[in-house]
């Protein structure tokens, strides 16, 4: 018999899939690493497992303990799955810009969810960072993994995502692209890949409204760069410890609209029903690829999560129209074409 003892064993070893349609006109091979194949449907299962197992190893997490995290949803799902398999409780704080689906999914898998305001600074006591920290102080036998600053986050990618990409491309990868939020995915993976071949170019996809790109280019933390935006999971108004700017060669900023439109194209043209930031990652990576990729180059773009979490937004035509994101020709009905 071949089976997993718990879902934990199904984390990682996600497939690389060639992009054939959205890449028209681009030289080289562009592959997507499709992280929705993880049991929690996102890349964050990897860091959830690593953060919990490292906390067990260093003795900060004891049997029956509570895991508290400020999460945009995907990390919560990963932590909830791993916590169930290992017998821990979960409480998550998240910002109210996150989709209702994400909140419902976390509650469905048994976590307590506390929704906090989006448009307050991180140090405000109402922010989801501050609320998570306070709960951690107040609840005995609790841990606050803090994916932003916890080195187990980037290490999970250094130990799993990087080696899988190197193995599956037979060491032929030349460019690696991923969205940047906590920085764990892009920096941990890039560190491993650059150690194998220092020529591998790493491209982080940032959002308009976020501080990263300007900081890399000028060394200045420019508060004027910060403004509210809608894309979930990428861009920040803080500099998390998991961001190692030496591991990123280029930053590309993507708008909410460009990310959303590309996510819909991935679903329609490639059959990849992915999350909003996956559209952002592909849009930004292809912008770079169009100018820079050569015939023999191999680019891998990491797609963090699944489309179901965005059904009420990116995959809802009315929501897209309300935000001015819909190109009407793209959505012509059969009736429009006949008449
Ligand atoms: N996309 C989504 C949907 C995410 O939840 C995250 C995590 N914040 C990212 C991209 C960025 O990944 P990382 O935090 O590893 O930089």
pTM beyond 0.90: yes
Helices (H), the chain: 44-57, 74-86, 100-108, 128-138, 151-156, 162-168, 184-196, 212-218, 256-265, 276-292, 317-322, 334-338
Q: For residue 259, how far is its CA from the centre of ligand 1 (angstroms)?
A: 14
Under 8 Å CB-to-CB from 46, ≥6 apart: which residues? 11, 12, 38, 78, 156, 157, 160, 161
Are the C-beta atoms of residues 167 and 39 closer than 8 Å to each other?
Answer: no
- Are the C-beta atoms of 200 and 247 separated by less than 8 Å? no
Å from CA of 284 to ligand 1 middle:
15
Give, using CA atoms, the residue closest to atom 6 of ligand 1: 233
Tell the residue nearest (CA) to atom 4 of ligand 1.
233
State the sign of the Cα–Cα–Cα–Cα dihedral 114, 118, 122, 125. negative
- pLDDT given at position 330: 53
Any atom of ligand 1 within 6 Å of the Cβ of 232: yes
Position 196 scores a pLDDT of 98
pLDDT at position 339 is 47
Q: How far apart are CA 99 and CA 117, in angstroms?
A: 13
Cα of 2 from ligand 1 centre, angstroms? 32
User: Of the candidates 312, 266, 323, 320, which has an alpha carbon nearest to the alpha carbon of residue 105?
Assistant: 312
pLDDT in tens, the chain (339 residues): 999 999 999 999 999 999 999 999 999 999 999 999 999 999 999 999 999 999 999 999 999 999 999 886 899 999 999 999 999 999 999 988 877 877 888 999 999 999 999 889 989 999 998 999 999 999 999 999 999 999 999 999 999 999 999 999 999 999 999 999 999 999 999 999 999 999 999 999 999 999 999 999 999 999 999 999 999 999 999 999 999 999 999 999 999 999 999 999 999 999 999 999 999 999 999 999 999 999 999 999 999 999 998 999 999 999 999 999 996 655 555 555 554
* Structure confidence at residue 192 (pLDDT): 99
Angle between the N-to-C axes of helices 44-57 and 74-86, in degrees from 0 to 180, rounded to the nearest 10 = 50
Ligand 1 atom at minimal distance to the Cα of residue 243? 16
CB atoms within 10 A of CB 191: 18
**Residue with CA closest to ligand 1 atom 5:** 233
The CA distance from 252 to 7, in Å, is: 35
Rounded Cα–Cα distance for residues 107 and 100 (Å): 11
Give the ligand 1 atom nearest the CA of 47.
Answer: 15
CA dihedral 70, 159, 7, 17 (to 10 degrees): 100
- How close is the Cα of 78 to the center of ligand 1, in Å? 13
Q: Is 45 in the pocket of ligand 1 (CB under 6 A)?
A: no
Q: Count other Cβ atoms within 10 Å, centred on residue 278.
A: 32
Active site residues: 44
Q: Is 74 in the pocket of ligand 1 (CB under 6 A)?
A: yes
How far is ligand 1, taken at its centre, from the CA of residue 141, in Å? 28
Specify the ligand 1 atom closest to the Cα of 275. 3
Residue 185 beta carbon below 6 angstroms from any ligand 1 atom? yes
Angle (CA) 29-31-32 rounded to 5° is 160
Tell whether ligand 1 has an atom less than 6 A from the beta carbon of residue 210.
no
- Res 63: pLDDT: 96
Work out which ligand 1 atom sits closest to the CA atom of 277.
1
Which protein residue has the closest C-alpha to ligand 1 atom 2?
A: 233
What one-character DSSP code corresponds to residue 39?
Answer: T
Assess whether the C-beta atom of 35 lies below 6 angstroms from ligand 1.
no
pLDDT at 336: 52
Confirm whether the ipTM is greater than 0.95.
yes
Q: Are strands 250-254 and 112-116 parallel, antiparallel or unpaired?
A: unpaired
Chain segment 35-48, per-residue pLDDT in tens = 999 999 999 999 99
């Amino acid at each position: 018999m071949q089976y997993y003892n718990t879902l934990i064993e199904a984390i990682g070893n996600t497939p690389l899939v060639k992009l054939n349609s959205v890449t028209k006109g681009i030289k080289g091979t562009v592959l997507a690493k499709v992280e929705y194949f993880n049991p929690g449907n996102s890349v964050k299962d990897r860091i959830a497992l690593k953060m919990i197992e490292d906390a067990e190893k260093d003795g900060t997490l004891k049997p029956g303990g509570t895991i508290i995290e400020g999460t945009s949803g995907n990390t919560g799902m990963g932590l909830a799955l791993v916590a169930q398999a290992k017998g821990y409780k979960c409480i998550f704080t998240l910002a109210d810009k996150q989709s209702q689906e994400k909140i419902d999914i976390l509650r469905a898998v048994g976590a307590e969810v506390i929704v906090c305001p989006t448009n307050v600074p991180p140090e405000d006591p109402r922010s989801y960072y501050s609320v998570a920290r306070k709960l951690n102080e107040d609840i005995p036998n609790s841990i606050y993994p803090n994916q932003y600053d916890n080195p187990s986050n980037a290490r999970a990618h250094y130990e799993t995502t990087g080696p899988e990409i190197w193995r599956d491309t037979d060491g032929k990868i030349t460019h690696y692209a991923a969205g940047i939020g906590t920085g764990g995915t892009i920096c941990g993976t890039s560190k491993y890949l650059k150690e194998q071949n220092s020529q591998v170019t790493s491209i982080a996809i940032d959002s308009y409204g976020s501080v990263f790109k300007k900081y890399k280019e000028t060394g200045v933390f420019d508060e004027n760069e910060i403004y509210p935006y809608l894309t979930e999971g990428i861009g920040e108004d803080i500099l998390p410890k998991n961001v190692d700017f030496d591991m990123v060669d280029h930053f590309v900023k993507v708008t909410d609209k460009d990310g959303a439109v590309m996510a819909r194209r991935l679903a329609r043209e490639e059959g990849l029903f992915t999350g909003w930031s996956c559209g952002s990652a592909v849009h930004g990576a292809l912008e770079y690829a169009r100018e820079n990729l050569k015939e023999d180059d191999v680019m891998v773009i990491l797609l963090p999560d699944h489309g179901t979490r965005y059904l009420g937004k990116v995959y809802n035509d009315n929501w897209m129209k309300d935000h001015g994101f819909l190109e009407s020709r793209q959505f012509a009905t059969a009736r429009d074409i006949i008449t």
